[in-house]
A and B are shown apart, each in its own frame.
Chain A
């Protein structure tokens, strides 16, 4: 599939195709949307079934649910402070959606919806709108003082204010590019080395022995990708917390 015509086709894995047959094609329901629904279903299932036993000594599923809950709860209270508890549902949803999406993409035949800038930018835009609205609601007009640090000479305002505004606007862009680039890079590398396996295997007698090398590398890469999948979800969530801290406390 990947090695057709002796070329490396690493990008076709990101193409969108309609899912669910004729019905999906009619409403442009792609496999990306399907995987988002699957991710949401997995999170729901983990939370409902995992917490159903309500055991004092949790089982495997329950401790997974509790660990993820407490992990994000501590992150939010550490970063935003006690008043940040009301943002916990938002950050938890965001983190779980990205984490499950990243992990889902590592399964064979699955699609990584976080490898599309449209998806990651939509998520980052939600965060951006939220932090701006929260800052405006809590601080009102004082929010605009954010773009001009107190104590700076007034004649520098024409320089400082545009730079601060661009810096503020670049937050959702950097947030979305970071996640998107990491996921794309990882999947392209996996695909390229997987193609090497197939190509080298066709080199006659020594081929199969040579192709063990990219295969071994791919095994290591998959492990690395699991790490990246978690790390990027974590970075997205913690940056959201840091931005929320800025919005709540406004320096």
Chain B
């Protein structure tokens, strides 16, 4: 009996080693309260920065100040919220 268990374990290890099976739940992002809070903040701020920066650039290019800036500010905020949402609900990993 013990021999059979050993064989199963070795078979699983070998299959894992050669990429026939995937081990789950390893190598995740560290999740302390401070780390998560800081990460969420950075995601929001960076999305806002990109949105506002794009808005300002487009405004300078098209001469539409301040309209695109205002629109892109809202888009940046939405993208920030989306980033935080993705942080806690990652896209499905098994599809594709």
Q: Footprint of B on A, CB under 8 Å?
A: 74-75, 77-79, 81-82, 159, 162-164, 166-167, 169-170, 173-174, 177-178, 181, 231, 234-235, 238-239, 241-242, 245-246, 249-251
Contacts and interface: CB of A to CB of B under 8 A. Distances in A.
16 contacts: A74-B26, A78-B22, A78-B23, A78-B26, A163-B75, A163-B78, A166-B50, A166-B54, A166-B79, A167-B82, A167-B83, A169-B50, A170-B83, A174-B46, A231-B35, A251-B96
Interface stretch (B5-13, B37-45, B59-67): B37-45
Interface residues of B, number: 34
Chain B binding site: helix, strand, loop or mixed by DSSP?
A: helix
B8 to A, nearest CB: 22
B19 A173 contact: no
B54 to A, nearest CB: 7
B49 interface: yes
B54 A231 contact: no
B2 interface: no
Contact of A177 (B19, B46, B78): B46
A235 B47 contact: no
Contacts, number: 80
A173 B82 contact: no
Contact of A163 (B23, B79, B90): B79
Contacts of A181: 42
A231 B30 CA distance: 8
Contact of A82 (B19, B27, B80, B91): B19
Contact of B39 (A167, A178, A245): A178
Contacts of B90: 242
Given A77-B19, A166-B54, A251-B91, A177 B42 contact: yes
Contact of A170 (B38, B39, B79, B91): B79
B29 A251 contact: no
A74 B22 CA distance: 11
Contacts of A77: 19
Contact of B27 (A164, A166, A238): A238
Contacts of A163: 75, 78-79, 82
Contacts of B75: 162-163, 166
A81 B94 CA distance: 11
A231 B27 CA distance: 12
B48 to A, nearest CB: 8
Contacts of B49: 170, 173
A251 B95 contact: yes
A231 B34 CA distance: 13
A177 B48 CA distance: 13
B33 to A, nearest CB: 14
Contacts of B82: 163-164, 167
Nearest to A182: B38
Given A166-B50, A166-B51, A177-B42, A79 B27 contact: yes
Contacts of A238: 27, 29
A-B pairs with lowest CB-CB distance, top 5: A173-B46, A174-B46, A166-B79, A82-B19, A167-B79
B82 to A, nearest CB: 5
Interface in B66-96: 72, 75-76, 78-80, 82-83, 86, 90-93, 95-96
